[in-house]
C-alpha cells in the first residue's frame, strides 16, 4: 500500500529507542524543519493573505474547514482574528468535523461525513474565502467541502502537507507544506500541524497588515474587551502618539475604544478629523499620521 508522506515512518533511529536527550533534540529539529516548509512558498502565502483581506473589505465570509488536528489549528487561527485584528466575528465561520470538542475526545469517523461538509457550500457565495486544511490532502470532509464551496462560487485556499493531492488540485490557492514523515509516524499533530499553524499565523498576520490593522509592528485595531487589553491599547496609543498613559486612556475613552482614532486624537487631531482621515485612507494609520495636521497642541508626557 502506497502511503502518503504524512503516514510514512521517519528514517533513522526510532523515537522511542532514543535517549531522552537525543529524543528532545530530534523532536525540536523535526519541528524546526516542519516550520521551515512555509518559507518555501512565499507567493502562495501572500496570495492567500490577499484573498482573505479582500473578503474582509467586501464584508464576505472567512470560512475555516478541517478535521482532527488540522481542525484544531484552524480553530486557533479563526478565534484569534477578532481580538488581534478587530475582524468582525460575524464574518468568521468555523466548520470542524464533528464540531468543536468539549472534552479530550475527537471522534475519528466524523472526517468521513461528506454530507455535512457539502452543506457548507449551500451557505457560501461568491467572494467568500474558505481555508480548508488536511495534512494528507485527501480527508473526505475537507475535499467534499472544497468541492461544494467552489461550486457555490467561493474561493478555496487549500492547505495540505502532501503535494498533488485532491484538496490541492481543487484549491484556487494551493498552500503545499511539504513536511517530512513524522517522528511518530502518522501523528500529524506534530510537524504537519506545526507547519499549518505557522502558515495560518502568517497569512492572517499579512491579512492584518494589508487591512491596515498593524502599524509599526503593533496591533492598532485590537478589541480591548478586558483589563489587560485596555492596558495594551493604552500602551499602543502612548507609544505611537508619544503621550502619557493618562492622555492615551483619555483618548481611548473619547473614541469609545477605537485604538486607531485614539492615536490620532492623542496626537492632536479632533475626533471628527481622525474618523474622516481613517475613512479616506481605508483604515490605514500611516497615511493619516503623515497628512493629518493637529488641531490642538499635543500634551507633553
C-alpha 204/C-alpha 189 separation (Å) is 20
Task: Confirm if 157 and 146 have CB atoms less than 8 A apart.
Answer: no
C-alpha 8/C-alpha 169 separation (Å) is 22
Please, which residues have CB within 8 angstroms of residue 233's CB and are 6 or more apart in sequence? 222, 224, 248, 252, 257, 259, 262
Active site residue 178: no
**Distances, alpha carbon 110 to alpha carbons 70, 97, 131, 137, in Å:** 13, 5, 19, 16
C-alpha 165/C-alpha 245 separation (Å) is 53
C-alpha 55/C-alpha 47 separation (Å) is 12
Q: Catalytic pick from 13, 44, 111, 178?
A: 111
Which sign, positive or negative, has the C-alpha torsion 251, 257, 260, 261? negative
Task: Confirm if 283 and 211 have CB atoms less than 8 A apart.
Answer: yes
Q: Which of 226, 212, 262 is nearest to 85 (CA)?
A: 212
* DSSP assignment string, 45-89: HHHHHHHHHHHHHTT--EEEEE-HHHHHHHHHHHHHHHHHH---G
Q: Catalytic pick from 7, 80, 113, 178?
A: 80
Place of cell 523535526: 30
| Burial group, residue 156, by CB count within 10 angstroms (0-12, 13-18, 19+) | buried
Active site residue 80: yes
Active site residues: 80, 111
Amino acid at each position: 500500500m502506497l502511503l502518503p508522506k504524512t503516514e510514512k515512518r521517519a528514517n533513522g533511529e526510532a523515537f522511542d529507542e532514543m535517549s531522552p536527550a537525543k529524543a528532545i533534540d530530534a523532536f525540536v529539529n523535526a519541528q524546526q524543519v516542519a516550520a521551515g516548509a512555509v518559507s518555501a512558498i512565499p507567493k502562495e502565502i501572500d496570495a492567500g493573505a490577499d484573498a482573505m483581506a479582500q473578503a474582509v473589505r467586501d464584508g464576505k465570509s472567512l470560512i475555516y474547514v478541517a478535521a482532527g488536528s488540522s481542525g484544531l489549528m484552524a480553530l486557533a487561527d479563526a478565534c484569534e482574528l477578532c481580538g488581534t485584528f478587530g475582524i468582525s466575528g460575524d464574518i468568521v465561520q468555523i466548520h470542524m468535523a464533528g464540531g468543536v470538542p468539549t472534552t479530550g475526545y475527537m471522534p475519528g469517523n466524523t472526517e468521513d461525513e461528506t454530507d455535512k461538509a457539502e452543506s457548507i457550500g449551500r451557505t457560501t457565495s461568491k467572494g467568500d474565502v474558505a481555508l480548508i486544511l488536511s495534512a494528507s490532502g485527501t480527508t473526505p470532509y475537507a475535499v467534499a467541502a472544497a468541492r461544494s464551496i467552489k461550486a457555490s462560487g467561493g474561493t478555496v485556499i487549500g492547505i495540505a502537507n502532501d503535494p498533488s493531492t485532491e484538496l490541492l488540485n481543487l484549491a484556487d490557492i494551493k498552500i503545499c507544506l511539504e513536511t517530512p514523515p513524522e517522528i511518530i509516524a502518522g501523528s500529524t499533530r506534530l510537524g504537519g500541524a506545526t507547519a499549518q499553524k505557522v502558515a495560518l499565523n502568517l497569512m492572517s498576520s499579512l491579512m492584518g497588515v494589508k487591512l491596515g490593522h498593524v502599524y509599526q509592528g503593533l496591533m492598532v485595531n485590537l478589541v480591548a474587551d478586558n483589563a489587560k487589553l485596555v492596558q495594551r491599547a493604552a500602551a499602543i496609543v502612548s507609544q505611537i502618539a508619544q503621550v502619557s498613559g493618562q492622555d492615551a486612556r483619555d483618548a481611548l475613552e473619547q473614541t469609545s475604544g477605537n485604538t486607531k482614532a485614539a492615536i490620532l486624537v492623542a496626537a492632536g487631531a479632533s475626533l471628527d478629523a481622525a474618523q474622516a482621515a481613517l475613512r479616506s485612507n481605508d483604515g490605514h494609520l500611516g497615511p493619516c499620521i503623515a497628512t493629518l495636521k493637529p488641531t490642538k497642541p499635543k500634551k507633553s508626557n
